[in-house]
């Protein structure tokens, strides 16, 4: 059985620099609302805030703290798109291409508008660079840029060759890159906390340290915790890699993988100008990528090394620091102040898993390590679905997913073996 004991935040840079420490009450007694959201990460909070803006009464039940999981531990890169977008177009047909293209950018739009509307202090900045390690990856970026020009969006993008890229990010390790000014980076935990505060201000009941132990189905579902229960017309499941609910329907479809981040001490101005003068987020194109950026106080936040076996790294710094120094030998001797990890939800066919159970229980999970932006889009889709608007939900719901048998442990080993193949492709 999973551990249902509530926990505080991991010892990350984000937790150490959060604008506030949340202290919402533990669920006690019975509550009745229109919608109960299980999970207070980006998906759950985004859904709750959207529903509250539309006039619904909402309760959010969180096992730990706001943003405790991947939403508060990730690399902070706000990147358009979502897992499986191209596969959805291929499966449903070209007539869905425009709708799916708009969905790819919807998360970015929601984040930007909420930061402005609710005055959320979360260091949101524009600028994201996707970088190519080899000629094959560079050709893919060139094809993407050609498509961008066909759609008349080139003013927001810049294709960089090797020399231009080295001037931009201070390392010669890549052959080129594509810069997007419509993507960017953020302090993710502060964003999640700020959105939760906005939701609470609109009347959303938020309960922390309240693990859900079960759900009773019915026209009005009952969500049960150790200290109380919530009765609701609709339920949104938003636990991603950290929940074990509805095993009959969802077991074997999602597998948790571990990803890790280190944060250096604050870097000097001269070094910052050398390695990232435009203050952009960077991610390579490998199946298991390195991703990194500067924090607001000019630390290097460097992440990567997805672990699909289910085992945790004992020494995160020992694994990640050499990868960072291969790109930036200039950082030799920089102190590592923070190191942390967390679980991301992986779907075997890499298509975002979204749908409904029993007519009034909706779920969204499996962002495959690319979740800051699409979780916000997914939260809006969850809210639409509660209202009976299923056009976007059904694109995901109708896509076929096949569970891996033998449970999560065996599934993780099979997925891990598969990722060895993709790691090989990264170096071909």
Are 13-73+189-254+348-420 and 128-182+256-347 in the same CATH fold? no
Residue 370 near residue 79, CB atoms below 8 Å: yes
Which residues in the chain come in under a pLDDT of 50? Answer: 1, 420-422, 424
Nearest residue to 133 via CA among 424, 428, 419: 428
What pLDDT is recorded for position 365? 94
Helix (H, G, I), strand (E, B) or coil at 218: coil
Position 307 scores a pLDDT of: 67
The two beta strands, 361-365 and 353-357, are: antiparallel
The pLDDT, as a whole number, for residue 410 is: 53
- Report the pLDDT value the prediction gives residue 181, as an integer from 0 to 100: 96
The CB-side HSE value for 427 (13 A sphere, CA atoms) comes to 5
CA separation for the pair 428, 422 (Å, rounded): 10
Give CA–CA dist 206/58, Å, rounded. 9
Domain 13-73+189-254+348-420 has CATH 1.20.1600.10: no
Alpha-carbon distance 193 to 180, whole Å? 26
Residues 6+ away with beta carbon under 8 Å from 335: 264, 265
Query: In this predicted structure, what is the pLDDT of residue 414?
Result: 53
Report the pLDDT value the prediction gives residue 413, as an integer from 0 to 100.
52
pLDDT computed for residue 305 by the predictor: 74
Superfamily of domain 128-182+256-347 in CATH is D-Amino Acid Oxidase, subunit A, domain 2 (3.30.9.10)
Indicate the SS3 state at residue 254.
strand
Question: For the chain, what are the domain ranges?
Answer: 13-73+189-254+348-420, 128-182+256-347
Q: Residue 357: what pLDDT?
A: 94
What is the spatial distance between Cα 349 and Cα 331, in angstroms, rounded to a whole number? 37
369 backbone φψ class: left, alpha, beta (φ>0; ψ -120 to 50)? left
pTM value? 0.94
């Amino acid at each position: 059985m999973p551990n249902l004991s509530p926990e505080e935040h991991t010892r990350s840079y984000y937790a150490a620099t959060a604008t506030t420490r949340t202290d919402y009450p533990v669920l006690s007694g019975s509550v009745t609302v229109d919608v109960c959201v299980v999970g207070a990460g980006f998906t759950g909070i985004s859904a709750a805030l959207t529903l509250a803006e539309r006039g619904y009464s909402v309760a959010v039940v969180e096992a730990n703290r706001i943003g405790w999981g991947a939403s508060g531990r990730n690399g902070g890169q706000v990147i358009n798109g979502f897992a499986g977008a191209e596969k959805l177009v291929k499966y449903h047909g070209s007539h869905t291409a425009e709708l799916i293209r708009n969905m790819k950018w919807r998360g970015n739009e929601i984040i930007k508008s909420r930061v402005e509307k609710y005055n959320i202090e979360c260091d949101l900045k524009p600028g994201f660079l996707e970088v190519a390690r080899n000629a094959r990856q560079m050709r893919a970026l060139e094809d993407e840029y050609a498509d961008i020009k066909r759609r008349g969006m080139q003013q927001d993008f810049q294709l960089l060759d090797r020399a231009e890229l080295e001037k931009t990010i201070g390392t010669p390790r890549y052959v080129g890159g594509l810069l997007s000014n419509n993507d960017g980076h953020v302090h993710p935990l502060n964003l999640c906390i700020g959105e939760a505060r906005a939701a609470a201000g609109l009347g959303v009941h938020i309960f922390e340290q309240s693990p859900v132990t079960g759900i009773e189905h019915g026209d009005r579902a009952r969500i049960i915790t150790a200290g109380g229960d919530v009765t609701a017309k609709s339920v949104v499941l938003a636990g991603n890699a950290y929940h074990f609910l509805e095993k009959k329907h969802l077991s074997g479809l999602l597998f948790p993988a571990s990803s890790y981040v280190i944060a250096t001490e604050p870097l000097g101005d001269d070094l910052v100008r050398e390695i990232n003068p435009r203050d952009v987020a960077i991610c390579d194109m490998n199946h298991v990528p390195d991703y990194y950026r500067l924090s607001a106080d000019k630390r290097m936040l460097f992440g990567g090394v997805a672990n699909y076996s289910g085992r945790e790294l004992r020494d995160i710094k020992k694994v990640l620091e050499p990868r960072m120094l291969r790109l930036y030998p200039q950082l030799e001797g920089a102190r590592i102040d923070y190191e942390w990890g967390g679980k991301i939800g992986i779907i075997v066919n890499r298509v975002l898993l979204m749908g409904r159970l029993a007519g009034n229980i909706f779920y969204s999970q499996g962002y495959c390590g690319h979740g800051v932006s699409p979780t916000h889009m997914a939260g809006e889709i969850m809210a639409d679905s509660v209202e009976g608007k299923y056009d976007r939900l059904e694109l995901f719901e109708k896509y076929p997913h096949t569970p891996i048998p033998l449970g999560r442990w065996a599934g993780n080993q099979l997925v891990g073996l598969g990722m060895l193949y993709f790691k090989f492709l990264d170096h071909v």
